[in-house]
Each structure stands twice: as C-alpha cells, then as structure tokens.
C-alpha cells in the first residue's frame, strides 16, 4: 500500500481534473441522463424524497446517488457539462482506492491508475450523468480491501481492521452506484468462504471489535436496501424492451477492455449492422482480444493457486449469473452492468507493463505495451470525438420543436418528455399538457382535435418510447416527409398540398 501523502492527493486531483476535462462534453443529454436530471428538479427535499420513493425503476433504487446529484444541482445549476462533472469527485475516490492497492512497487500502482485513466470505458462514463463512476469507486475500494485481506496474516489485527474498513466503504459506495454490485459482493464472500475461510473469519471478528463502525455500516446500507426493496416490491424490474443476446453480452466485455471506441457505435450495431465498417470491427476486436489475452496471462501468473481460484470465482461467477438472469428475464446485459470487474483489466495491464519495462524486460513486451497504450488512447479519443459515438441528440430535437412552435405549428413529440423540459420547450414535464400545439405520444390521442394531423413529428427510435406503436399510423399515412435527422432522431413535416 502506498502512503497517501498530500503530494500524492494533489497529483490525483490534477489527474482526475485532466481526465475529466478531456472526456466531458456539453453535447446533448440523452434519455437516461434526462431521467437523472429530472429527479433532481423536485424541491423542496421532502418532495424530492417522495418523488424518489415513488420512482419505480433502477433510479428509485439509488437514493444516495440521487441525493448527491440534487446537492450538486442545488449548488451549481444544471449546465450539461457541469452535470457530468459530478463524476469527477467519484473518479478521484476511485484513484485514491487504486493507489492503496497492496503492491510492493509504487510504479505498478501508478501504472494501474494510468491504464484506468486512458481507457475508453472510463471516458465514456465520465461523460454521462449516470452512476457508473461511483460504481467504479466502490469496486476499487472493495477490491483493495479484499486483496489486502487475502494476503494478510489472520492474526495481524491492524491490517485486518484496515482491510475490513476498506471493504465496508467499497460495499456502501458500490451499492450506492448500482444494486447489481451485490452480485460481486456475494460471489466474493463465497470465494473467501471456500478458499480463505480463516481470513473471512478474521474480518468478521474485526466487525465485532469495531462495533461502532459496523453499526454505522448496517444503518447506511440497510437504508439503501430498504429503498431498493420497496422499489422492487412496487414493481420495478429490469427493462424487458430488448432481449438478452450473447452478441450484446460479448460487446459488453469488449467495452470493459476499452476497445469499443475503435469500432462501430452501440446504436449502429443495434439498428444498422448491415452498413457498419468491418475495418472498425476488426480494429476493435483485435485490441479487445489482445487485452483479453494479457488479462488472462496476468491471471495465470498469480503465484498462489487459491488466490487464483478466489479471483476466478469472485469475478466470473456474477458474469454467469448475469447471463442466466438476462435469459430468464429477457433483459439486455451491457458493459455497464459488468463494470465491477473493470479495475481488474487495468491491474492486469499494469502488471504486464511493469514486467515489460523492468530491467531485462524483453523488447517484444515493450512493443506490445506501447501498441496497447496507443490503441487505448485512440479508442478514448474516438469515443470523445467521433460523430458515430454521439448519444441521442435531444438538443437538436428540442430546437426543431421550438422552431415549429414559434411558427405556431403543432408538434408531436415521440421521445422522452424530460427533453422538452430540460431544453426549455416546456417549463416542466408537468406543464407539457398545458403547452399549446405541443403533444406527446402519451397524450396526443386525447388532446389533439378530431380529424387533425400534427404539422411536425419529432421521433426517436430508442426502444420503449412508444411501445404500443400509437404514432406509427401517422407516418404510415404517407402524409409526412422527412426533413431532418440527428443522432437517434428524425424530424417529419406534413406535406404541403
């Protein structure tokens, strides 16, 4: 473990700020981000708590994360880049955890941070108003604590207590980021029970010694789980709008390697696979395959057999569970659902790089590490800059609606209503029905005058926006022509006679 000094903290702050500046943009919020923003708009706090309590989806299971976002918005507003910068403190916490890895060589710890920070997976989720960087922070501290516990003598109370505190912090932060972290927590406990039961018992004794910390942990975690269980019992379930597929699961694993920036976008792979660039696919698959091989090689190099098996059970068992749950519930598993394992990729690359550049390191290893580093940087820059990786362009869609309404022409909005509120087409989601000439897919049948047609239709092709196909007959009528396109959006206008 590296001692956390003021100079090291300052270095990590500068690194976190630099990576955030490089990756965070002010481009349009997409549908999931708009949902996060909308929850933060409830005021006062009593109304916010009521709204979250009755929000029956995955957001309703994350009270700590959404409380943090509300504090962030109350403190500085809701500018797009500022909203996404809420990830930066959690990135700093992640890097602090990685620096505490119980490694003999400080250089290797900094290499872990380096590979974590140049990865497109990190860049992608830093640039998203969602809780996946906080999930990384929890995963990093949980990993640090369990690693230290696994290699420490069971009678070293000081070290066991330190490990246990790190594990507790990791669990709380991980569950604050995503309830799916519970899969990895459970699989790790099972792995310790099978391969290192004495270490697990030592940690349980540490909980008894530090009862005050244990009590605080139980209260905080218990509160989060009560909210999550209430959401689940009230009907919140994983989205079933998209089926599980092994191809999608495989792409999720590619995302973990950081190679996805080199390939086609998720949207292209889902909606326009016939026209994707196979050169991009080959570049992405090559880098992902190479990183996968090096990760496997680093796992094979672990000296103790029981440690090797412990990592295998703790990291891989939840992936198998995800496949089973995805098949049974018809739930699409993507990279963010697997992201607790992401720090292991950075650690594996760091170990290989440290060996490559040690005295006597073979030239081919150095060439390989250099090539992977260049590939990861190119992938991250492409995620940041390439048009194909842009998300739903609600900003452009809202502008189309604004222009039409300013001309006193009617608009049917077939997209998330939160986009109308954020981009000031309507004052709030609740006020949309009172906005003249503006209709949404959920209310147009009731509100639109009989035998009339909206002048404009602004529609996104994200699944679930109009699950019953209520607006399909309008476009099938041949009365409309396509007049504009933006990422995942199309703008139609009624044909003039």
Q: Of 389, 407, 427, which one is at a domain's C-terminal end?
A: 389
Q: Does residue 275 fall inside a structural domain? A: yes
Is the residue at 1 inside a domain? no
Do 441 and 305 belong together in one domain? no
Omega before 44 cis (within 30°)? yes
The answer, yes or no, to whether residue 240 has pLDDT greater than 70, is no
Last residue in a domain, options 369, 389, 409: 389
- For tokens 């119980």, name the residue: 102
**Residue where one domain finishes, among candidates 335, 355, 389:** 389
Please check whether residue 28 lies inside any domain of the structure.
yes
CA angle centred on 330, ends 345 and 389, rounded to 5°:
50
Average pLDDT of the residues of the chain: 92
Same domain, residue pair 357 and 484: no
pTM over cut 0.85: yes
Tokens of 266: 């998720």
Residues 305 and 232 placed together within one structural domain of the fold: yes
Same domain (yes/no): 381, 399: no
| Same domain flag for 19 and 105 | yes
Q: Are residue 172 and residue 298 in the same domain, yes or no?
A: yes
Q: Mean pLDDT over residues 450-465, rounded?
A: 88
Distance CA 352, CA 347 (A): 9
pLDDT bin (cut points 50, 70, 90) of residue 328 is: confident
Of the candidates 386, 382, 363, 362, which has an alpha carbon nearest to the alpha carbon of residue 374? 382
Q: What's the domain range around 122?
A: 6-389
The per-residue pLDDT for range 100-131, each reduced to its tens digit, is 999 888 899 999 999 999 999 999 999 999 99
Residues 100 and 245 in one domain: yes
Quick: pLDDT tens for 166-204: 999 999 999 999 888 999 999 999 999 999 999 999 999
Going 457 to 463 to 467 to 473, the CA torsion angle's sign is positive
Is 70 exceeded by the pLDDT of residue 444?
yes
Q: Is residue 144 predicted with pLDDT exceeding 80?
A: yes
Confidence of residue 272 (pLDDT cuts 50, 70, 90): confident
Quote the number of domains for the chain: 2
- Compute the distance between CA of residue 99 and CA of residue 92 in angstroms, rounded to an integer: 11
Number of neighbours of residue 300 by Cβ within 10 angstroms: 8
Confidence label for 358 from pLDDT (cuts 50, 70 and 90): confident
What are the strands of the beta sheet with 489-494, ordered from one edge?
438-440, 411-414, 456-460, 489-494, 480-486
* Same domain, yes or no: 354 and 451: no
Between 20-24, 265-269, 340-344, 356-360, the lowest mean confidence (pLDDT) is in: 356-360
CA-to-CA distance for 264 and 387, rounded, in angstroms?
Answer: 11
The rounded distance, in Å, linking the Cα atoms of 401 and 410 is 9
Are 409 and 321 within one domain? no
pLDDT tens digits, residue range 361-387? 788 889 999 999 999 999 999 999 999
Residue 464 has pLDDT above 80, yes or no: no
Note whether residue 469 is domain-resident: yes
3-state secondary structure the chain: CCCCCHHHHHHHHHHHHHHHHHHCCCCCCCHHHHHHHHHHCCCCHHHHHHHHHCCCCHHHHCHHHHHHHHHHHHHHCCCHHHHHHHHHHHHHHHHHHHHCCCCCCHHHHHHHHHHHHCCHHHHHHHCCCCCHHHHHHHHHHHHHHHHHHHHCCCCCHHHHHHHHHHHHHHHHHHHHHCCCHHHHHHHHHHHHHHHCHHHHHHHHHHHHHCHHHHHHHHHHHHHHHHHHHHHHHCCCCCCCCCCCCHHHHHHHHHHHHCCHHHCCCHHHHHHCHHHCCHHHHHHHHHHHHHHHHHHHHHHHCCCCHHHHHHHHHHHHHHHHHHHHHHHHHCCCCCHHHHHHHHHHHHHHHHHHHHHHCCCCCCHHHHHHHHHHHHHHHHHHHHHHHCHHHCCCCHHHHHHHHHHHHHCCCCEEEECCCHHHHHCCCCCCCCCHHHCCCEEECCCHHHHCCCCCCCCEEEEECCCCCCCCCCCHHHHHCCCEEEEEEECCEEEEEECCC
Q: Would you state the structure tokens that stand for residue 348, as one six-digit string?
A: 């594996």
**Does residue 406 lie in a domain region?**
yes
Please give the pLDDT value at position 237: 63
The pLDDT assigned to 241 comes to 59
pLDDT in tens, 241-269: 567 778 888 999 999 999 999 999 988 88
Query: 265 with 376, same domain?
Result: yes
The partner residues of 493 in beta bridges, in order of sequence, read: 456, 481
21 with 161, same domain? yes
- The pLDDT of residue 330: 72
* Shared-domain flag, residues 237 and 291: yes
């Amino acid at each position: 473990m590296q001692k956390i000094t003021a100079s090291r903290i300052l270095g990590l702050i500068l690194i976190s700020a630099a990576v955030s500046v490089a990756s965070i943009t002010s481009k349009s919020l997409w549908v999931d981000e708009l949902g996060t923003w909308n929850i933060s708009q409830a005021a006062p706090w009593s109304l916010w708590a009521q709204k979250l309590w009755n929000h029956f989806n995955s957001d309703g299971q994350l009270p700590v994360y959404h409380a943090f976002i509300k504090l962030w918005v109350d403190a500085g507003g809701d500018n797009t880049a500022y909203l996404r910068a809420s990830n930066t403190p959690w990135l700093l916490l992640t890097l602090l955890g990685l620096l505490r890895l119980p490694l003999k060589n400080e250089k290797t710890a900094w290499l872990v941070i380096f590979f974590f920070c140049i990865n497109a997976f990190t860049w992608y989720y830093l640039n998203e108003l969602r809780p996946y960087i906080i999930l990384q922070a929890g995963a990093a501290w949980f990993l640090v604590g369990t690693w230290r516990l696994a290699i420490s003598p069971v009678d070293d109370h000081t070290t066991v207590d330190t490990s246990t505190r790190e594990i507790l912090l990791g669990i709380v932060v991980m569950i604050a980021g995503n309830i799916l972290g519970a899969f990895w927590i459970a699989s790790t406990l099972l792995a310790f029970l099978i391969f290192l039961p004495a270490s697990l018992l030592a940690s349980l004794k540490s909980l008894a010694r530090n009862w005050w910390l244990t009590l605080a942990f139980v209260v905080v975690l218990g509160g989060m789980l009560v909210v999550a269980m209430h959401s689940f019992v009230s009907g919140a379930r994983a989205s079933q709008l998209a089926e599980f597929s092994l191809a999608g699961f495989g792409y999720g694993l590619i995302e973990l390697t950081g190679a996805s920036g080199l390939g086609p976008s998720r949207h292209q792979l889902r909606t326009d696979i016939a026209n994707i660039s196979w050169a991009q696919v080959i570049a992405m698959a090559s880098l992902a395959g190479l990183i996968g091989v090096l990760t496997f090689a680093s796992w094979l190099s672990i000296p103790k057999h029981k440690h090797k098996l412990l990592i295998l059970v703790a990291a891989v068992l939840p992936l198998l569970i995800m496949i089973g749950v995805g098949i049974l519930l018809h739930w699409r598993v993507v990279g963010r659902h697997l992201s607790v394992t992401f720090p292991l990729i950075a650690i594996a690359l760091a170990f290989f790089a440290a060996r490559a550049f040690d005295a006597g390191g073979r030239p081919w290893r150095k060439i390989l590490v250099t090539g992977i580093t260049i590939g990861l940087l190119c992938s991250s820059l492409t995620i940041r800059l390439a048009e194909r990786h842009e998300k739903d362009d609600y900003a452009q869609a809202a502008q189309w609606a604004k222009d039409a309404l300013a001309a006193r022409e009617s608009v049917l909005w077939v997209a998330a209503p939160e986009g109308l509120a954020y981009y000031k087409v309507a004052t709030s989601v609740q006020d949309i029905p009172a906005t003249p000439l503006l209709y949404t897919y959920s209310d147009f049948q009731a509100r639109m005058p009989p035998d009339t047609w909206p002048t404009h239709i602004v529609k996104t092709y994200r699944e679930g926006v109009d699950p019953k196909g209520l607006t399909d007959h309008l476009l099938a009528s041949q009365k409309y022509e396509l007049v504009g396109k933006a990422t995942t959006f199309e703008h139609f206008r009624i044909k003039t006679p």
